[in-house]
Amino acid sequence: MLNTLSVSFHLTHDCNLRCGYCYTGTKTHAPMSAQTADAGLKLIEQLALEQGIPNVEIIFFGGEPLMEKELIFHILKRCRETSSGLRFSFKMSTNGTLLTESLLLDLLRNEVFVSLSLDGGPETHGEQRPNCGGHSSYGMVERSIPILLKHIPCANVTCVTTPSSAHRLAENVDWIFRKGFRYITTTLDYTADWTSDDMRALEKSYRQLAIWYEEKMRRHERFYLSSFDERIRTHTRPPLQATERCVAGTRQLAIAPNGEVYPCITFVTTERLPQFLLGHVNEGLDDACRSYFHRCSESEKAECAGCSLKSRCSSWCACINFMSTGTVTQASPIVCHQEQVLLPIVDEVARRLWKRRNTLFLHKHYNDLYPVFEYLDINT
């Protein structure tokens, strides 16, 4: 992460879905212009060269980025033509409704790694991700799943859990797995009003998921489940340093469709957040704002003082804290409760796998070369 500048291009605020938990605000047809995109790229190159960062990661975001296909390829063309000497990599997060095979092949030719937002089975997906007409978008997404897996076997899926779908988390993960996805990132809707009852339902789901995880590991199934694997890694890998975890505002930026620059994707909404504005693609960045934001987001949270889970908790994430509390200086109570619930469950599963000396568990968490071997296993 030290050598990479990560920039999200919010190509548009518009989207053909109306997900209940979407934090980006009102869906307006106000796409980014090609000039803004060019200015954004110029700013990024300048920034990367000034700071001696050799790698630039561009993430196409939105709204729904595939609604601005031409702009995507325009940016890709510009990056190929640049003579700055920087190495570019590309990612995109899409709802999958507009993905066709030819489009996917074009994206892959341009080395764009596509990840899918998929909340689970038809029931959950239909409830949480309706289209503009209020109907389930599952049918539109279902078509793109085999296309995606055919060309990207290691495609990543992001699964959002809301209070109303907390009791179905295990079922949703299993459904996604049975569809063929092997890299599953689960996250919560941090903007929602989670209550103790919701957390209890979530805990029950995590326990079911623990049984599922252990069974898959015992069968030596290759997969990645973020909620479990990342938490085990907080124990098997050294704690992340401040320069490694949240680099929002310093080595991570988000460019809104109108050219305003923010620290991270969470702050790019149709309702402007001037208190988090770092600059504009045409005017440059305010370094004082950037360092101030970084200091605020990295500041010690008084409410977390003395917590024995501090080194394993993700309360350092400014985005999540902002979504939950409205500020970056306060720890999210949703994260706090989740970690207190999930960490013991995860540790118990890991302990059981360790006790059996499960070979896959050992390599997954103690072998630095595991990602390479896993990639070979999944993609061959």
Partner 1 sequence: MKNKTQLSVRPVRRTKKTGYPSWQEPNPLEQPYAQPYPFTQKALNWLAASGLCGALFFAQEAEGGVAKKPDKMERMDKDTLGNPFPFERMGVPFRTSAFGTGVPERLTSKEAQTVIDSVFRAEGIRLEKTVIRTTDGFVEVDGYDAVQKIGYVWIDWGRMDSDMYTSWMDLKRNKDGSFTKVKRLRFADNHLRDYDYSIKKIHEAYSKYKPTSEAQKAFIQKLKNLIDNGSPDWDDDYKYLYYEYILAERVERFKKYNAGGFSNITEYMEGVLSIGAGSNRNKQLDIAIDVLAAYKVDEDWLAKVLIEAAQSRHASAKLKRLNKLQEAYQALKSYAPEKQDKLKHLIIDGKDDWKPAVEQAEQWLDELKISMVEAKALEAEAYKKGQFVALISQKDERWIYRATVEWVNQIRQSALESIKRQAPKLDSIELEKRADLWYGKPDYSDTKEYVLKNLENQVHDYIRWAKQQRGY
Residues that bind partner 1 (CB under 8 A): 194-197, 199, 219-220, 222, 235-238, 301, 303-309, 330-334, 336-337, 340, 343-344, 347-348, 350-351, 353-360, 362-363, 366-367, 369-370, 373, 376-377, 380
Least distance to partner 1, CB of residue 354, Å: 4
Of residues 145 and 336, the one with the C-beta less far from partner 1: 336
Of residues 139 and 239, the one with the C-beta less far from partner 1: 239
9 neighbors 58 (Cβ within 8 angstroms): yes
Of residues 264 and 335, the one with the C-beta less far from partner 1: 335
Least distance to partner 1, CB of residue 9, Å: 34
> How many CB atoms are located within 10 Å of the residue 267 CB?
26
Of residues 55 and 358, the one with the C-beta less far from partner 1: 358
> How many CB atoms are located within 10 Å of the residue 368 CB?
8
Backbone φ, ψ for residue 57 (5° rounding): -110, 125
Of residues 81 and 355, the one with the C-beta less far from partner 1: 355
Is 149 exposed, middle or buried (CB count within 10 Å of its CB: 0-12, 13-18, 19+)? Answer: middle
Residues counted in the chain = 380
Please provide the distance, in angstroms rounded to a whole number, between the alpha carbons at the two ends of the chain: 28
Q: 87: closest CA among 112, 57, 117?
A: 57
Least distance to partner 1, CB of residue 225, Å: 17
Least distance to partner 1, CB of residue 48, Å: 31
What's 33's DSSP letter?
Answer: P
Least distance to partner 1, CB of residue 220, Å: 5
Of residues 54 and 344, the one with the C-beta less far from partner 1: 344
Least distance to partner 1, CB of residue 124, Å: 19
Backbone φ, ψ for residue 112 (5° rounding): -95, 125
43 neighbors 284 (Cβ within 8 angstroms): yes
Least distance to partner 1, CB of residue 376, Å: 5
> Does the N-terminal peptide bond of residue 63 adopt cis geometry, omega within 30 degrees of 0?
yes
Least distance to partner 1, CB of residue 197, Å: 4
Of residues 102 and 241, the one with the C-beta less far from partner 1: 241
Least distance to partner 1, CB of residue 183, Å: 17
Backbone φ, ψ for residue 240 (5° rounding): -70, 135
158 neighbors 199 (Cβ within 8 angstroms): no
CA–CA distance from 265 to each of 28, 70, 87, 256, 289 (Å)?
Answer: 17, 21, 22, 9, 17
* Helix spans in 265-358 (H): 287-298, 318-325, 333-355
269 neighbors 24 (Cβ within 8 angstroms): yes
Least distance to partner 1, CB of residue 23, Å: 18
Of residues 111 and 348, the one with the C-beta less far from partner 1: 348
* Helix spans in 24-68 (H): 34-51
Give ∠ CA 341-202-206 in degrees, rounded to 5: 65
Of residues 24 and 315, the one with the C-beta less far from partner 1: 315
Of residues 139 and 371, the one with the C-beta less far from partner 1: 371
Backbone φ, ψ for residue 308 (5° rounding): -80, -10
